[in-house]
Amino acid sequence: MREILTASQMKKCDAYTSEYFGIEPVVLMERAALTTFISICNCGKMYEDSRTLVVCGTGNNGADGLALARIMYEGGYSADYCIPFDGGKHSELFERQKDILDKYGLVPVSKDALEDGYDIVVDALFGIGLNRPLTDVAALFIDKLNHFKGFRVALDIPSGINADTGSVMGSAFRADITVTFGFAKRGQILFPGKDYVGKLLIANIGITERSLAWLDEEGGQQGRCFVMEKEDVIGSLPVRPDDGNKGTFGKVLIYAGNEDISGACVLASIAALKSGAGMVKVITRSGNADILKKTVPEAMVTTLRSKAASAGEISETKEKIRQDIAWADVILAGPGIGTGEESSRLLGFLLENAGDKPFVLDADALNIISAGDRERSGQDFREIIQRRSAVTIFTPHIGELSRLTGKSATELKSDIIKCSNEYAADAGVILAAKDAVTCVSDGSKAVLVSTGNNGMATAGSGDVLAGITAALVAVCAKTEKYEAFTAVLNAVYIHGLAGSACLDNMAEDSVTAGDIIISLPGVIKEIRDEQKNNQAEV
């Protein structure tokens, strides 16, 4: 996994690298400018007659830009630089770099004289330290740069993007590439910031994993955030034993589907089976039995009366459901079950009797919990979950998370990492907050998963993820070293890969949940093949 930092964490890494290792800030700056120059050249955008404009602020990000302009000039390239907002307050390193350019005889271009026609436009205005909305004048200037036709490069982060949250602070530079230094920043991975970054290039300038040593002194894993990568799945997905049987690979019990929504139980069941579950059993309304038998003949079915309304009628099946719980390695509840009294009561019964079984809660199960309707269900779900000794996993989309937390979708999206950590810690769950970039948190550590595409914003996609998650968590009951948190990460990542694989044959507009399931076997085969290749190399 790649660690991603906040602006304050990055500044501490800078300071630690200089103070502990003795690498002077000006050396780090020279490396930053040089690696940016090399990155532009590697993109094939630097020619003998290229005209470059470097737009600089008066802090250290601007100083990086001044150093870049000098390196280009020394290399024989045309490099104009502009300091559009010089209020007289300069950082020490800015003063140092500006003095060098003055001695070279290079004079800044006035912002009022700037016109389109540059081949390369470099943004070195504000960097990661910006924490308030841009002034109207600055926003208008950045909008002007965005209309220039040249190849656009951001130093460290596009100006106007919050480095911690990815929010746009009034306006933001739209880069073709962003060259960031040492570590990626959270706002470069989260939307809408990700849209402004373009291709993200992480440059090694001497700030490495060793520069994070100070984190261990200030709480270890607490508050740290990472980005999931394919190598993490390849390295952590348990290898299936050759002598295994269907019980070895996990038994998944799914409570899904009501009279009006039969597709949810079908999608979740197929996804679980296609993700490696050895056996699947579905608790659903009797009206769904025929469609399940036709579409998922591999699944077993426990049926509930389709038009039952009383607790007494549910009690007729309680013994059978207890047996189902005892049979299972993991329980999934929620897809398409509705939020009525009977669904609430059965959800409460499953939770109360789940014992040490991992429990995945999705969709309507989360809506029932967020409603907090103890009178209808006879259960206090939050209390039950907090009493559980086994792992509980929530997989809400932003709307469901809003109902769970009482926070607006806007508030959640403004800092999804912090909100996810807080809710997961408070509720005592592993949380997968589903969005364009999904945040998985155990309350102390967060991991972002950015696989997938906007075509996955389609009905049933969450049911597919729930099935994948249940299947991979079931393996936890069989594999001592495979943790539930890792299983959830793998599920979200694989789900996104399957969504991306759909685009081999169609546009985002056409992707359905069924298409994601169709892509699953190929994605999992690719991961397994790479595992085998890695083992062969060892």
- CATH code of the domain containing 284: 3.40.1190.20
Q: 133 is in which domain, residue-wise?
A: 2-218
| Residue 224 falls inside a structural domain | no
CATH at residue 87: 3.40.50.10260
3-state secondary structure of 393: strand
| Residue 13 falls inside a structural domain | yes
Which positions ≥6 away from 111 have C-beta within 8 Å? Answer: 82, 84, 141
- Asked if residue 441 and residue 336 are part of one domain, the reply reads yes
- Asked if residue 54 and residue 186 are part of one domain, the reply reads yes
- Residue at a domain's end among 188, 218, 248: 218
Which positions ≥6 away from 87 have C-beta within 8 Å? Answer: 58
The DSSP code for 129 is G
Position 218 pLDDT exceeds 70: no
pLDDT tens-digit map of 223-244: 799 999 999 999 999 999 999 9
Position 295 pLDDT exceeds 80: yes
| pLDDT at residue number 313 | 57
Q: If you average pLDDT over residues 156-183, what whole number do you get?
A: 97
220: confidence class by pLDDT, cuts 50, 70, 90:
low
- Residue at a domain's end among 218, 241, 256: 218
Across the chain, mean pLDDT equals 94
C-alpha–C-alpha distance, residues 205 and 86, integer Å = 28
The rounded radius of gyration (Å) of the Cα atoms in the chain is 27
| Residue 223 falls inside a structural domain | no
| pLDDT at residue number 279 | 98
Which positions ≥6 away from 147 have C-beta within 8 Å? Answer: 116
Q: If you average pLDDT over residues 265-283, what whole number do you get?
A: 98
310: confidence class by pLDDT, cuts 50, 70, 90:
low
> What burial class does residue 278 get, using C-beta atoms within 10 Å of its C-beta: 0-12 exposed, 13-18 middle, 19+ buried?
buried
Position 80 pLDDT exceeds 70: yes
| pLDDT at residue number 87 | 87
221: confidence class by pLDDT, cuts 50, 70, 90:
low
338: confidence class by pLDDT, cuts 50, 70, 90:
very high
Percentage of the chain modeled with pLDDT above 90: 88
| pLDDT at residue number 307 | 59
The domain total for the chain is 2
Which positions ≥6 away from 451 have C-beta within 8 Å? Answer: 228, 492, 493, 495, 496, 497, 499, 500
- Asked if residue 259 and residue 191 are part of one domain, the reply reads no
| Residue 20 falls inside a structural domain | yes
- Asked if residue 170 and residue 280 are part of one domain, the reply reads no
| pLDDT at residue number 374 | 53
Contact 404, 365 (CB under 8 A): no
